[in-house]
Each structure stands twice: as C-alpha cells, then as structure tokens.
Copies of this chain bind each other. A is one copy, B any other.
Amino acid sequence: MSSAIFFKAIEQEIARTQYGESPVELYEPIAYLMSLGGKRMRPAICLMAASIFSDDWQKATKPALGVEVFHNFTLMHDDIMDAAPLRRGQPTVHEKWNSSVAILSGDVMLVCAYELMTAVKDNIFKKVIRRFNRTAAEVCEGQQLDMNFASRNDVSEEEYINMIRLKTSVLLGFALELGGMIAETSEANTQLLYEIGTNIGIGFQLKDDILDVYGDPEKFGKQVGGDIIENKKTFLLIEALAQAKGKPEEKELAQWLSAQSFDKAEKVKAVTNIYDTLGIKQMAESKMNEFFSKGLNDLERLEAPAERKKPLLDIIYMLIEREN
C-alpha cells in the first residue's frame, strides 16, 4: 500500500470535521490553524501503525486526527509564549486575533482532541486516555524545559535529548502506539511501536537542528541560521559549547552568544565556522543516525509481514532524507 492513502484519509477527515460553531472567535482559530497545513505526519503514522495489524485501519482516522489537533493546540499556545508572528508563513492566532483568543481557542482545541479520542472502542478507551494524558503532560513538560533552557548556558547533551524526547518525540511515539492499540495488536508490539516513534522523533528533531544550520537555502523553506541568530539551545550549540572548552573557539562562541548587536549573516557564518572547526555537524549526524537506527531496528523486530511495514518504513526514510 502506498503512503499517500493515509495522508489523503487525514486530509479528508480534516475537511469534514467541525470543531464547534459559536462563538466564532473560539472556533474559527481552530479551523484556521488546521487549514495552514503541515506534514500531517503524526496522524498519518498513526494510520500506518494501525494498518500493519488491521485491514480496518480507517477506524483510527478520528483518533489520529485527535493527535494532529493536539499537536496544533500546542503550536497555538507555544506561539503565544514564543511571541511568534508567523506559523507556516501565515499570521499566528494571537497575531491575527489576540492572546486571549489564542489561549481560549487553544484550550477548547485540547478538549476537541479528547473528544476525537472517544471514537476508539470502549474496551480500549481508558487505556488510550491514560496514555494520551501522560503524553500530553510530557509535551507540556518538554515545552517548559525548552523555555528554561533559554536562560541557561550549562544544558547537557543528556538534558537536551530528554527535552526533545518530551517536547517532540513522545507524541510521535503515542501516535504509533495509538494505531497499534486501535488495531488491538499485542502489548509487546504496541510498546515497540511507541519506542519506534520516540526514537524516530528524536532523530527527526536532531535533523531539524542540523537543517537549520546546514540546510540548502533553496529547499529549506525557513531562513537558514535562524537558530544561530536567536542563540537557540540546539543540539549543535550545546555540543559546540562542550567541545569548545579550553579551545580558542570557547571565547569566540561566547562573544557571539553575548553580542547585543550584530550583522545576522556575519553571525551565522562565524558560528557555522566554529561548528565546522569543532566537527559539530558530524557529531549531530552521528547522534541522529543512532536514534534513526534504533527506530529502524525496532521496526524490523515488529512481528508483522514486511509489506505491511512498508509505508511506515518509507516515511522514516523520507524523514531521514528530508531537506526541509
């Protein structure tokens, strides 16, 4: 089966879903944010996981959309906290409306995600909600850690990996696990699906960090070097701070990090040079490959015919090779 069918099922579900009607200030921002697109990777992999163990994977469509709605809820609230003006090239909800609307509309969006989860069968519903609760709390924990890291210069690699595991990866893990639960596969397979998702998710985020510095400007879609300009604590910066200790790059990096006014292009070039000198790109790629490999190995171990796993395998390779 081709991957496209799963993405199509999600887009169709999004097109027919009504989140609520009145007052419009509450529900329009939900439809707006959901209409801005995105890769729809989380719900698609949920359907793929379900399809590994069940021909009736369509029954996972609403809960899968719940994962996507949850993801977009976190974007709506994160954008307020980050004072981000744009999301997918369009005004963020708090910019287009205001912060109160973005808070409240986000709240009801989280409720909508829970409502979409009610589409699973009664016998697995409590298990699904417990796992969803845990995942949702962890995503919030990850966002809080990310904010905490902004004012720290001593974040360790381990802390960083834990933060992105919480903020990004557990939701990919849950998306796959949810597909497995809905297909009512074994506990062992469901657990393995979760592991695959979290490891792929960490690899995915490390790829993000690498692309932000080393992406092809023609293909990347965003400004290359954005993380460097903002001193964002990515894997690359954390590794560079560690590797630079006692070397001439230590002072140079510190100066760029504390610079109040600078030419953006010059800073991006200089910090990228420091990364190159220290071999940071290779370290990040090696760490990224470690997590992708774990994910691929676990997918190999999953007890199912290879052709059933093919769509998920294709997506993972797409994530590994992506350039934007």
Q: Given the interface contacts A26-B140, A130-B115, does A81 sit within 8 Å of B100 by beta carbon?
A: yes
Chain B: minimal CB distance from A82 (Å): 9
Kindly list 17 other residue pairs between chains A and B, CB separation below 8 angstroms, not including A80-B103, A81-B99, A118-B129.
A20-B137, A22-B141, A25-B147, A26-B141, A77-B104, A80-B99, A101-B144, A104-B144, A111-B137, A112-B137, A114-B114, A114-B129, A114-B133, A115-B133, A122-B126, A125-B126, A129-B129
Contact among B77, B108, B125, B145 with A140 in the assembled complex (CB-CB below 8 Å)? B108
Interface size on A, residues (CB 8 A): 37
Q: Given the interface contacts A25-B148, A103-B80, A129-B129, does A137 sit within 8 Å of B108 by beta carbon?
A: yes
For residue A77, which residues in chain B have a CB less than 8 angstroms away from its CB?
A: 103-104, 107
> A81 vs B80: C-alpha distance in the bound complex, in angstroms?
13
Chain B: minimal CB distance from A166 (Å): 10
Question: Do A25 and B144 touch (CB < 8 A)?
Answer: yes
For residue A106, which residues in chain B have a CB less than 8 angstroms away from its CB?
A: 107
- Report A114-140 CB contacts with B as 1/0, cut-off 8 Å: 110010001001100110010011001
Question: Do B126 and A111 touch (CB < 8 A)?
Answer: no
Interface positions of A (Cβ within 8 A of B): 20, 22-23, 25-26, 77, 80-81, 99-101, 103-104, 106-108, 110-112, 114-115, 118, 122, 125-126, 129-130, 133, 136-137, 140-141, 143-145, 147-148
Chain B: minimal CB distance from A263 (Å): 30
Name the residue of chain B whose CB is nearest to the CB of A113: B133
Contact among B23, B81, B114 with A104 in the assembled complex (CB-CB below 8 Å)? B81
- Could you name 16 residue pairs across A and B whose Cβ atoms are closer than 8 Å? A25-B144, A25-B147, A77-B107, A81-B103, A81-B104, A103-B103, A107-B107, A107-B110, A108-B140, A110-B110, A110-B111, A111-B140, A114-B133, A115-B130, A115-B137, A122-B126
